[in-house]
Structure 1
Amino acid sequence: MTLPVGFVVELDRHTRVIDGGRALLGGFPTRLLRLTPRARRLLVDRTLPVRDAASALLADRLLDTGMAHPVAGSLPLPADPRCTVVVPVRDRPRQLDRLLRSIGTDHPVIVVDDASRHPVAVAAVAARHGARLVALAVNLGPAGARNAGLRLVTTPYVVFADSDIVLDPDTVPTLLRHFADPRVAMAVPRITGLPAAATTWIERYENARSSLDLGAHPAPVRPGTPVSWASSACVVARVDALGDGFDARMTVGEDVDLCWRLFEAGRRVRYEPAVRAAHEHRVRVRDWFLRKAVYGTGAQPLAERHPEFIAPAVLAPWSTAFAAALLAQRRWSAPVAAAVLGVVTVRIARKLDGTRHPYRLAVRLTGNGALATLTQTSALLTRHWWPLTAVGCTVSRRMRRATAVAALADIALEYRRDRTPLDPLRYGVARRLDDLAYGAGVWLSALKGRSTTALRPRVTR
C-alpha cells in the first residue's frame, strides 16, 4: 500500500533539518535519517508532496518514524466518503438530542440504546432526528453497544460518537481526508470541553487538563510515544479494518486496546487536533474523581492483552542510573548523575559521526532525555506508585523531599503550560487528586488481577 500522488506531509515541529539538508533528526524514538541528494530535492520548505514512487517512499518513511505528519487540509476526500454515525447511549436523552443536532442529516445515524432505564425518552429523541434505533435488552457496556451498531453499518466508514459529545461541522470531513493514506485505519480529533463557561472549579481544571485531550499537535497514535492511545469518544474508522470491533469484555480501556491492536496489525491511527469534538466534562468533584479511578482500572486488562505496551515508564539503562543517583540524594549523587550524562553524550555523538556538530546535537539530545527521565520518575512517585511513595515518606526524609520536589515542580510546570483559568492552589489540588485517583485505579486492578505487569517500568535500549 503506497501513498497516492498529491499526498502531502509536513515535518514535525521537533524534526530538525541538519547539515544543510543532508539529514533529518527527530521522531520517536529520536533517530538520524540521512538523505540522498535526490531525497533532499523532494523537501520543499519542510513539506514533502508525493509526486512519484521515490517521494511516496520517503513520505511513508517519515510517517513511520513520526518525523512528519499528513497535511490533512490539502488531502482529497476518499473516492467513496460515505459514513455512518454510531451512537451508544444509556439514558441521557438531553445529551443525545444535542449530539444529533450537531450531526445534522448528512450521514445515516444508528442510535444503540444500551438497555436504558427510561428507553421511551431515548426512542423519542432518535425518532425526532430520523435516526435508526437499536434497543438492546441487556446492558453490554460501551464496547458491546458500539459493536452492535457496527454490525449494521453498510458504508465504507463509521463514526463512533458518544452521546456527551458535540461535533463541529468540519470534524468528520477533515478526518476522512486522512484515509487517503491506505494504511490509516482510524483518525481521531482533539477532545475539548464544551464552549459554554465552566460552572465549577473542577470543570475548569478538566477543560484544561482532560484525560481525553491529547494536545495541540498532530501525532501518530502508537504505544510508547507521547500519544500512545486515543479516546473512542469520537473516532472515524475504516469499517473493513475494524474486524469485530471493540473487545466487548472490556468496560474501560477498550479504546486503548483497539488502537494497539490496529498498530500490531500494521495499520495507522492518526491524531488530528486541527478539528475538535466538544465533550461534556464532569462538574462534581466526586463524579470526576471516581471517573479518573475507573480509567486507572483499565490498566490490568490491558496488561493481560498487551504486556509489552502497558509499562508506566519506559527507561533506558542510563536513565535508570541517572534517576537512581538523584533519588539517592547523597554527596556523590550530582557527580554520578553528571558522569552518566557525560558518557551518554559521548555515545550519542559517536552515533552522529559524520554530521557537522555531533557533540552540539548530542548535548541537546541528552538534555531532552534527562528531562524525560525526570518527568517519568516524577509521575511514578506521584501517580503510578503513590501508595509505595506514601509508605516511603513515613520512614524516609529523602523520600519526603523527593516527593515534595516532584509534586511541586509538576504543578508549577504544568500550570504554566496549561494556562488554565484557575488559581494555582486549586489547580495543584486537582492535579494531585487526579494522580491519586488514577493511581488508585491502577493498583486496584493490579490487586484484582494478582499481577504487577501494569506497575512495572520497562527498561529498554
Structure 2
Amino acid sequence: MADLPHGFRVRLADDAHRCDDGRTLFGGSSGRLVHLRPAALRRIDDAGVLRVDDPTSARVARMLLDRGLAHPWWNGSRPSSTTGDVTVVVPVLDRPAALDRLLGGLPGTTVVVVDDGSTDPAAIVEVCRRRGARYVRHPERRGPAAARNTGLRVATTDVVAFVDSDVVLDAASLAALRRHLEDPGVALAAPRVLGLDEGRGVLARYEAARSSLDLGASPARVHPHGRVSYVPSAVLLARREALGDGFDESLEVAEDVDLVWRVARHHDVRYDPTVVVRHEHRTTARAWLSRKAFYGTGAALLAARHGEAVAPAVLAPWTAVLAGALLAQRRWSIPAAVAASAVAQVTLARRLRGSDHPHRAAAAVLGVALHATLTQTTALVVRHHWPVTAALVPFSRRARRVALAAAVLDGVLDHRRVRPDLDVLRYTALRRAEDLAYGAGLWRGCLRARSPRALLPVLRPRPAPPTTHPER
C-alpha cells in the first residue's frame, strides 16, 4: 500500500486498550492485538497522537490504521482539501423539494442529478436549472443502483460522492470527507447520518437515537465483522478508480453494502462520525417497519455474494461453548462456562509471553470477547433467530427465561448506551418491534433464496470483536 503523506496524523482509537506502559494495544474496531517496539512507542505522544515524519512513523501509522487501533486525526481543524475534483451524483425519484434543499447546500459544486423515472420530470428539471446541476433522465425506473451508475459514467472527476436526495449536506462536510483520500490507501469515506429534527413523535425520537443509518459516534475502519461493518450510500465519497463497474444493478436492497465490501477487499474504507449529515427518516409505523423488513431481505443476497461476511455472529470455540452453556441453563452450565474461559485464558496468556503481565493482558482481551459474545448471543435470540425463539417459548420454560432476559437486558443496556430521548420502556418496545421486522425480512429473504447462509454463525479460532450487522 502507498505511503502516508508527510505530516499526516493518526490518533489511537478510544476503544484501543493499552497495557504494559502502552507497549501492548488491543481492541479497536477490529479487535486486534499488537506489541509496539520502543522506536514505535516513542513516536506516540501522551495524547495518543502519531505524526508521520519519517519512514518508521509512516510504517507504524499504517499498521495502526490497518488494525483499527488508530484513526486519521485533524484535531478539529478546518479541511484544507477542496471539492474541486468531486462530482456529486444524486439519484432522484420525484421529491423536487428535497432535491432543491440538498442542492441549495452545495453551491459551486459539480452535481449530476439522475432522474430515475419521475412522474413529473419537469419539476426536477426546473430545480436542476435553477441550482446549476446537470440533469440526466431514465425514461423508466431502473432502481437506485442503476441511477448511481449512470451518474458515475457521466462524471469525469477523480472523486465521486453519491448522495441521496433526502439528505441535507453542505460543501464543508463534503470537504471534510474528501481529506480522507489524502491517504492513498483509502477508497471510500462516509459520514455519520442523523435524522432531521422535524418532529417529536415517539418514532422520530427513537430513530434519532437508533437509526439503521447511524453507525455511532466512534470512527472506524470499515470491513465485514468489524465494529462498523458497512456504511450506507446515503452519503458515500469514493475514489472513482476503485469502483470498477459500480453498484450491482440486480440488487434492489443492500447494493451499497455489496459495493463497500467489494471495495474493502483491496482498499480502506473509513467511517468518520465527526462529519454529520441529516436524513429524512421514516417516522410512520407502517413505513418504518416495512423499511426494516426490507433491509432484512438483503442479508440472503449478500450471503450469496460474500459468504460468511454476513454471518449474524462470529464466535471463537470457547465463546461458542460459553454461549451454549448459558442458553442451556443446566447444572453443568456454569462449570462448563468457567472451564472454557479458563482454557482460553491460559492459551491466550501463552501467546502473550512478550507482555509484562500476560495473564492480566489475556483477561482484558477475553473481557472484550465476552462482552461481544453476550451481545451477539442476545441478538441471535431476539433478532436474527426470533422465529426459532418464538416456536420454543410455548413449550419450554428455559426458552421463556432466555427470551425474556435477552429482550429486557438488550433494551436496558442499549438504552443506557445511546441515551435516547425516550423512557426505557418505550425504547425497549420499539427496539423489539424493529428486531421482529428485520428478522422477518431476514427469514423471508433466506426462504426466497433457499439458503440458510445468512442465518448461520461462524466459528473462528480467536475471540471475535463486536460486530454491526448489515441492515442495508
What is the CA deviation profile of residues 55-104 of structure 1, one whole-angstrom value per residue up to 9, with x for unaligned ones? 1111111111111111145697559852111110001112111111122x
Deviates further, 86-95 or 121-130: 121-130
SS of corresponding position for 2:194: strand
Q: Report if the CA contact (8 A) 1:81-1:156 is conserved.
A: no
TM-score normalised to the size of structure 1?
Answer: 0.96
What is the CA deviation profile of residues 198-241 of structure 1, one whole-angstrom value per residue up to 9, with x for unaligned ones? 24211110111000000001101111111000000001111111
SS of corresponding position for 1:174: helix
1:169 Cα deviation (Å)?
Answer: 4.2
Letter in 1 for 2:214: D
SS of corresponding position for 1:195: coil
What is the CA deviation profile of residues 277-323 of structure 1, one whole-angstrom value per residue up to 9, with x for unaligned ones? 10101120000000000101111111111013010110111111101
Task: Give me the whole-angstrom Cα distance separating, in 2, the residues matched to 1:2 and 1:77.
Answer: 20
1:256 Cα deviation (Å)?
Answer: 0.4
1:392 Cα deviation (Å)?
Answer: 1.0
Q: Report if the CA contact (8 A) 1:200-1:284 is conserved.
A: no
Higher relative CO (Cα under 8 Å, sequence separation at least 6) belongs to 2
**Counterpart position of 2:173:** 171
1:381 Cα deviation (Å)?
Answer: 0.7
TM-score normalised to the size of structure 2?
Answer: 0.94
Task: Give me the whole-angstrom Cα distance separating, in 1, the residues matched to 2:10 and 2:395.
Answer: 54
Matched, 1:40 2:41: yes
Task: Give me the whole-angstrom Cα distance separating, in 2, the residues matched to 1:23 and 1:325.
Answer: 32
Task: Give me the whole-angstrom Cα distance separating, in 2, the residues matched to 1:37 and 1:355.
Answer: 13
Letter in 1 for 2:23: R
State the number of aligned residues. Answer: 458
Runs (5+) with no aligned partner, structure 1 = none
Letter in 2 for 1:109: V
SS of corresponding position for 2:162: strand
Letter in 1 for 2:261: W
Would the alpha carbon gap of residues 350 and 426 (structure 1) be closer, same or farther in structure 2, given more than 3 Å must change?
A: same
Task: Give me the whole-angstrom Cα distance separating, in 1, the residues matched to 2:256 and 2:268.
Answer: 14
Matched, 1:235 2:236: yes
Q: 2:115 aligns with which of 113, 126, 132?
A: 113
Task: Give me the whole-angstrom Cα distance separating, in 1, the residues matched to 2:264 and 2:247.
Answer: 14
Q: Report if the CA contact (8 A) 1:75-1:178 is conserved.
A: no
Task: Give me the whole-angstrom Cα distance separating, in 2, the residues matched to 1:442 and 1:310.
Answer: 11
**Counterpart position of 1:425:** 425
Letter in 1 for 2:4: L
**Counterpart position of 1:455:** 455
Matches within 5 A, 1:89-238: 89-103=92-106, 105-196=107-198, 198-238=199-239
**Counterpart position of 2:312:** 312
SS of corresponding position for 1:187: strand
Deviates further, 419-428 or 218-227: 419-428
1:29 Cα deviation (Å)?
Answer: 4.4
SS of corresponding position for 1:298: helix
Runs (5+) with no aligned partner, structure 2 = 462-472
SS of corresponding position for 1:395: coil
What is the CA deviation profile of residues 230-255 of structure 1, one whole-angstrom value per residue up to 9, with x for unaligned ones? 00000111111112111111111011
Would the alpha carbon gap of residues 87 and 130 (structure 1) be closer, same or farther in structure 2, given more than 3 Å must change?
A: same
Matched, 1:20 2:21: yes
SS of corresponding position for 2:446: helix
Q: Report if the CA contact (8 A) 2:27-2:365 is conserved.
A: no
Amino-acid identity (%):
51
What is the CA deviation profile of residues 133-161 of structure 1, one whole-angstrom value per residue up to 9, with x for unaligned ones? 11111211111100001111111111111
Would the alpha carbon gap of residues 420 and 145 (structure 1) be closer, same or farther in structure 2, given more than 3 Å must change?
A: same
Task: Give me the whole-angstrom Cα distance separating, in 2, the residues matched to 1:81 and 1:34.
Answer: 41
Q: 2:87 aligns with which of 72, 81, 84?
A: 84
